[in-house]
Structure 1
Amino acid sequence: MSKRRRKVLPKEPVHCEIETLSHDGRGIARAEGKTQFVDGALPGETVMAKMVGTRSRFDELRTTEVLNAAPERQQPPCDFADLCGGCSLQHMSADAQIRFKENTLREHFAHFGGIEPEHWVAPMRSPDSLGYRRKARLGVRYVKARESVLVGFREKRNSFLTDIDRCVVLDPRIGERIQPLRELLHGMVAFDRIAQVEVACGDDLAAMVFRNMDELVPEDRDKLIAFGQAHDLHIYLQPKGPDTVHRIWPESRGRDDERLTYRMDEFDLTMAFHPMDFTQVNAGINRDMVHRAVEWLDVQPGERVLDLFCGLGNFTLPLARKGAQVVGVEGDEAMVVRGRENARLNQLSNVEFFGADLHGDFTGQSWAKEGFDKILIDPPRSGAEDICKYLTAFGANRIVYVSCNPATLARDAGVMVQNGYRLVQAGVMDMFPHTTHVESIALFERKAR
C-alpha cells in the first residue's frame, strides 16, 4: 500500500484580511471560501502570512508581516513571543485581551447554556501581567545537532522546544534563570536524561523538581545542590512517579518538611503546599478571587458551607474564618491530607476535609446528610455536569462556581438553571495574562418558590 503524499505547502507568504478571532486567539480570514487561522494576527488587520498547515476545511498560517496594524496591537514584551507556545496574545493590548476573554465567556453562555447572567461584573484584572506565573512545567531537550540543551515551553503548534534564555511571564526567580539552568544541565553527566523541570514558587521560597530518568551520579547531585545554593532555590528529584519526589537541597527532615507557603493576609492565613501540589499560578488574582467568592457567598456564623474540589483549602479556610462550619471535599487523597494540615497550621477547628469520588452521587455520604446553606465549587476543566444535577439535594441558597473552562461553565450553568437556580452574576478573571486561558466566576441563587 502506498503512503499518502504530504501536501507541499506554498513557500511564499499570502495576503490575509483578518475578520475576527478564534477562541484560541488566532486571526480568522477567508480565501476562496476556505477558513484561514492566522497566528499573530488581530481583527481588522491586513497581514502577510506563511502557510504552516492545511486541512480540507481550513488552513493554518503564521504572520510574517503586518501591513495594516489594528489599534489593539502592541509590541510583545518577550523576544520569543512569535514562536513560543507559552503565550499567544502578547501582541494584543491588555484591554483587548480582557475584552477577548469576556466575549469568549459571553459566547459560550449563549451557545452552550442558552443563558446570560442577570448582571455582568467588571473583569478582574491581574495586578501584574509579567512575572506573575508561579507554577509551570518546563520541557528539557538535548539537541544533538547543536550540542546544546534547551529548556522552556513548546513552540506554537508543534512538539519542538523554543530556544529561550529567559521568560518574562514566569516569576523572576525562575524566569530570569533559564540560561543558567540550561548551562547547568548541559554540564551534567545526565545532560540528555533530564526530561522536564517542574517549578513552583511560594511567597518566600521557590523550588525546581528535576525529572531524572536515571539515577544521578554524585557529581550531578552536587551540581544541582550548588545551583540551588547559588540561586536560593529548593531542589527536588523525581526519579520515577510523583510519589518518588524528594528534596535534596536543603536536606529534607522528612516529607512534612517539604513545603512552600503563601499568605492570605485578609483572612490571616498561611497556606502550605508541596511543590507538586496544585496551586493557582497567579498570587494576586488568587487573593482577589478568594475575596470575591467569600463576599458573594455572604457566609454567616453557624452556617454550613460545602467546598467541592477544595484542593489544599484555598477557599475552604477563608470561608471557615467567617465562622461557618465548612466541609471541604476532594478526590485526591493527598490534597485531603494537605487541607487538614493547613487547618491545623492555622488553628481552625470549624472545618473538616473528606475524600470522595466527585464524579458520582455523593449525597448519601455521612458529611452530606445535614445539607448546606452555601456551596462553592471549583472543578477541573471537564466541569461538574453530573454534580450540578443533584446539588439541589443539599438545599443551598447560594452557589459560587469558579471555572477554568468557559465551555463547561456554560454547560453546567444551563443544568443549574434547569434545576431551580438563577444565574445572578458572572465575570472573567485574568489569571493567565497574555494567554487565551479564560478563568471565570459565577453566582447562582435558588429561585423563590
Structure 2
Amino acid sequence: MHVDAPREALIESLDHDGRGVARVDGKTVFIEGALPGERVEFVSYRVKPKFELADVTRIVAPSAQRVAPPCVLFGECGGCSMQHLEPSAQLAAKQRVLENALWHLARVKADVLYPVISGAPWGYRFRARLSVRQVPSKGGVRIGFHQRRSSHIVDMRSCPVLPTHVSVLLPALRDLVTALSVADRLPQIEVAVGEGLTVLVFRHLEPLTAADKDHLRAFAESHGVQVWLQPFGPDSASRLHPVKAPGLAYTLPEFGVSMAFRPTDFTQVNMGINRLLMRRAMLLLDPRPGERIADLFCGLGNFSLPIARLGATVVGVEGSDALVRRAAENAAANGLAERSEFHAANLFEATEDSLAALGRLDKLLIDPPREGAIAVVKALGADSPRRVVYVSCNPATLARDAAVLVHEKGYRLKGAGIANMFPQTSHVESIALFERD
C-alpha cells in the first residue's frame, strides 16, 4: 500500500537488489523500477526514519540504457528484477555491487578486477521451483513464481529465463494439475534439466489416486520428460515414469568429468556459466600433481572433480551426508576415487582443530551458501594454505569474510570479479583470490 503522493527524484545508482537509489529530503529512497541517471516520479510504500521504499509511477527522463522488458509479467513477477536494463549495463551494475560491498563493508580493494563471466541472457535457468496454487476466484490453478513482494503466485504461461522446451510446457502443466484430484494439495513442481533430460518433481501433500498417476504418466510420455513424485522431504522423491530411465547429469567437458545428480540435489542453475566459472576457478587455484587441496562446501563435487582431474588430491567437505555420498560416487564414476576423499561436517561450526584434522593443505577453495564461511576463515591458523579461492553467491558475506582474511589473517585480495549466473536478476555471483606470503 502506498503511503504518499507522487514525488520526483534523480536516480544516483542501483542497490544490491536492483532498485534505484535517490536522495530526497535528506533520506535515502530505494525505488523499484528506476535506473541510474533517470528522473522519475515515485510513491513510497514504506517510510522509515532513515530510508523509504518506493515504486516508480512515471519515468520523467529515461536512461539510454533502459530497454523494453520482453516478458509481459515483468514488474508483477518476482523472478526477475532487471529486464528493463540493457544486458551489458546489468553486468556493470553487478560489478559495482561487488566492488562497493568489498570497500564499504570490508575496506578492501582487489588488486585486479577480473573480466566478467557472462553468457546467454535468456533461457539459462536449468533449475527452477514453480509454485502451484488453486485460486478459483482467479480462474483455477496457477503455476509460476511468486509475485513481487507477495506470497501470491503469478499465472505464468511462458517464461523467457527458462529453457524454451520447459517454458512451452507451462500451459500443459496447468491443465495437468487441474485434472488431478490433489490439485489443491500440490504446492510445487521442481524443474531440473540435465544433459538431454528434463525431470519434473511433483510435491504432493496427499496420496495420489491411480487416475492421478495415469495422468502424470501420460504427460511424461507425450512431452518427453521424467515425472518424479515427492510425498515428503527432498530425499523422498522417486521416479514415477518412466520406471527405468537414465539419471540426470551435467558435464564439464574441459575437465572430462560428468556429474550425476538427483533432481532435488543442489546444483548450479546456469550450466553454461558454471562451466566458465569452473575454468576461472581452476586457473586461479592452479591445482598441481602432488598438492593437497580442500574443497569446502563441496556439494556433489562440482569443483572437487576438476581439481582431482588436474592431478591434485582433493579433500571435499560438505554438511549433507547425501551430497557427500553423491560426491564420492561421482569421483568413482569418473575414475578419480584415488585422488579424492569426502567428509561430512558442519562447516558453520568449523574450528582450527577441525580444519587441522583434514591434514596438510596446500590450497583451499571455498564455495559457501549465502551465509558465507565466517567460521572457516576465522579458524584459519598460521599454517593455513597460502592461496584461497572463494566462490560467493552473496557480496555482503564475501566482504565480511574478506575483512577477516585481509585484516586478521594476513591475506591480500589479489583479484575479484563477477559471474552472471542469474541474468535479468540482481543476484551477484563472484569469485575472489586471496594469497599471503
Hey, what's the Cα distance between the residues in 1 that align with 2:50 and 2:137?
Answer: 36
TM-score, length-scaled by structure 1: 0.92
Contact 1:392–1:420 (Cα < 8 Å) also in 2: no
- Structure 2 match to 1:298: 286
Q: Is 1:284 matched with 2:284?
A: no
Hey, what's the Cα distance between the residues in 1 that align with 2:299 and 2:270?
Answer: 16
Among 104, 108, 111, the residue aligned to 2:101: 108
Contact 1:84–1:156 (Cα < 8 Å) also in 2: yes
SS at match of 2:138: coil
Contact 2:38–2:60 (Cα < 8 Å) also in 1: yes
- Structure 2 match to 1:204: 196
Contact 1:155–1:161 (Cα < 8 Å) also in 2: yes
Give the CA deviation at 1:14. 4.6
> RMSD in angstroms over aligned alpha carbons?
2.0
- Show CA shifts across 1:243-277 (max 9, x none): 2211101115xxxx773011111111111000000
Among 418, 424, 432, the residue aligned to 1:428: 418
One-letter amino acid of the structure 1 residue matched with residue 29 of structure 2: Q
Contact 1:247–1:258 (Cα < 8 Å) also in 2: no
Q: Is 1:234 matched with 2:233?
A: no
One-letter amino acid of the structure 2 residue matched with residue 436 of structure 1: S
Map 1:24-43 onto structure 2 (within 5 A): 24-43=17-36
One-letter amino acid of the structure 1 residue matched with residue 115 of structure 2: A
Give the CA deviation at 1:350. 1.0
- Structure 2 match to 1:326: 314
Contact 1:84–1:154 (Cα < 8 Å) also in 2: yes
One-letter amino acid of the structure 2 residue matched with residue 108 of structure 1: A
- Structure 2 match to 1:4: none
Q: Is 1:221 matched with 2:213?
A: yes
One-letter amino acid of the structure 2 residue matched with residue 86 of structure 1: G
One-letter amino acid of the structure 2 residue matched with residue 261 of structure 1: A
Hey, what's the Cα distance between the residues in 2 that align with 1:439 and 1:214?
Answer: 38
Hey, what's the Cα distance between the residues in 2 that align with 1:369 and 1:8?
Answer: 55
Hey, what's the Cα distance between the residues in 1 that align with 2:369 and 2:427?
Answer: 13
- Structure 2 match to 1:153: 145
Give the CA deviation at 1:8. 7.2
Contact 2:291–2:312 (Cα < 8 Å) also in 1: yes
Hey, what's the Cα distance between the residues in 1 that align with 2:63 and 2:111?
Answer: 32
Contact 1:258–1:274 (Cα < 8 Å) also in 2: no
- Structure 2 match to 1:371: 360
One-letter amino acid of the structure 2 residue matched with residue 128 of structure 1: A
- Structure 2 match to 1:174: 166
Among 100, 107, 116, the residue aligned to 1:123: 116
Contact 1:329–1:356 (Cα < 8 Å) also in 2: yes
Q: Is 1:72 matched with 2:35?
A: no
Q: Which runs of 5+ in 2 are unaligned?
A: none
Give the CA deviation at 1:110. 0.9
Hey, what's the Cα distance between the residues in 2 that align with 1:77 and 1:432?
Answer: 16
- Structure 1 match to 2:395: 406
Hey, what's the Cα distance between the residues in 2 that align with 1:149 and 1:247?
Answer: 24
Give the CA deviation at 1:35. 3.9
Q: 1:65 to 1:268 in 2, by over 3 A?
A: same
Q: How many residues align?
A: 435
One-letter amino acid of the structure 2 residue matched with residue 174 of structure 1: V
One-letter amino acid of the structure 2 residue matched with residue 406 of structure 1: P
Q: Which runs of 5+ in 1 are unaligned?
A: 1-6
Q: 1:258 to 1:247 in 2, by over 3 A?
A: farther
Hey, what's the Cα distance between the residues in 1 that align with 2:267 and 2:196?
Answer: 15
- Show CA shifts across 1:365-393 (max 9, x none): 59845311111110111111111122235
One-letter amino acid of the structure 2 residue matched with residue 267 of structure 1: F
SS at match of 2:121: coil
Percent identity over the alignment is 45
One-letter amino acid of the structure 1 residue matched with residue 426 of structure 2: T
Hey, what's the Cα distance between the residues in 2 that align with 1:393 and 1:354?
Answer: 23
Give the CA deviation at 1:184. 1.1
SS at match of 1:224: helix
SS at match of 2:405: helix
Deviates more, 1:27-36 or 1:343-352: 27-36
Hey, what's the Cα distance between the residues in 2 that align with 1:416 and 1:59?
Answer: 34
- Show CA shifts across 1:375-430 (max 9, x none): 11101111111111222355312110000011111111111112121111111111
Among 71, 79, 98, the residue aligned to 1:86: 79
Hey, what's the Cα distance between the residues in 1 that align with 2:184 and 2:358?
Answer: 54
Contact 2:15–2:97 (Cα < 8 Å) also in 1: no
Q: 1:325 to 1:185 in 2, by over 3 A?
A: same
- Structure 2 match to 1:261: 249
Give the CA deviation at 1:57. 4.5
Among 382, 385, 389, the residue aligned to 2:378: 389
TM-score, length-scaled by structure 2: 0.94
Hey, what's the Cα distance between the residues in 2 that align with 1:441 and 1:203?
Answer: 26
Deviates more, 1:195-204 or 1:243-252: 243-252
SS at match of 1:329: strand
SS at match of 2:220: helix
SS at match of 2:315: strand
Give the CA deviation at 1:136. 1.3
One-letter amino acid of the structure 2 residue matched with residue 427 of structure 1: G
After TM superposition, which residue ranges in structure 1, 4 or more long, deviate above 6 angstroms? Answer: none
Map 1:356-367 onto structure 2 (within 5 A): 356-361=345-350, 363-364=352-353
Q: 1:326 to 1:394 in 2, by over 3 A?
A: farther
Deviates more, 1:199-208 or 1:358-367: 358-367
Hey, what's the Cα distance between the residues in 1 that align with 2:2 and 2:404?
Answer: 47
One-letter amino acid of the structure 2 residue matched with residue 443 of structure 1: L
- Structure 2 match to 1:3: none
Contact 2:3–2:43 (Cα < 8 Å) also in 1: no
Hey, what's the Cα distance between the residues in 2 that align with 1:124 and 1:375?
Answer: 22
Hey, what's the Cα distance between the residues in 1 that align with 2:73 and 2:223?
Answer: 24
Hey, what's the Cα distance between the residues in 2 that align with 1:379 and 1:217?
Answer: 41
Contact 1:306–1:372 (Cα < 8 Å) also in 2: yes
